[in-house]
Copies of this chain bind each other. A is one copy, B any other.
């Protein structure tokens, strides 16, 4: 049975792999886990010895098939627990990430399956992030973001890829929830500013970085 620590290394590796697409640099992992780089090196070598990752020294790490399978299991627990906390316990979506961080390591597969059924086998969590299936399929679609979508066209928000409670509260405050409609009216690369327009709302300015965390699809 993998330890809590191992599960966290694998989970973050999976999350970082989505972005960096290939080898994850040690520094990125170190930052994500909030441990010093030396610790990551040590730990990654032991994960490699267990066949969960491959380590290219001085270059980075990536998951093996076995490591990915484990990581998907943890991610599934995390996102199903989040969904439960919001839908059944009526918690605020900005608070559930921290809670799920703990519970994902304590919940058994048996309990998870019951939870899944209770929730009606949801395919995304409250942030719009896809929930891996029991078999470890992750229907990860490539979406545009508010930083990259066409100007002036109506879009629907599908996913907020940022977990910090502050950001999520800010997003909600301005109606930027999964499912909402909007339109990017202006994008100023030089200033790093994006202006979005919500139906019946005033224009809202976002940093390019923030806009890049909000995934959208064409409306209608």
Contacts and interface: CB of A to CB of B under 8 A. Distances in A.
Interface of A: 85, 88-91, 95, 99, 102-103, 105-108, 110-111, 114-115, 118
A114 B90 contact: yes
A106 B102 contact: yes
A140 to B, nearest CB: 27
A73 to B, nearest CB: 15
Count of identical protomers in the assembly: 2
Contact of A88 (B102, B110, B118): B118
Contacts of A89: 111, 114-115, 118
Contacts of A106: 102-103, 105-107
A118 B85 CA distance: 12
15 contacts: A85-B111, A88-B118, A89-B111, A89-B118, A90-B114, A91-B111, A91-B114, A99-B110, A99-B111, A102-B106, A102-B107, A102-B108, A103-B103, A103-B107, A106-B107
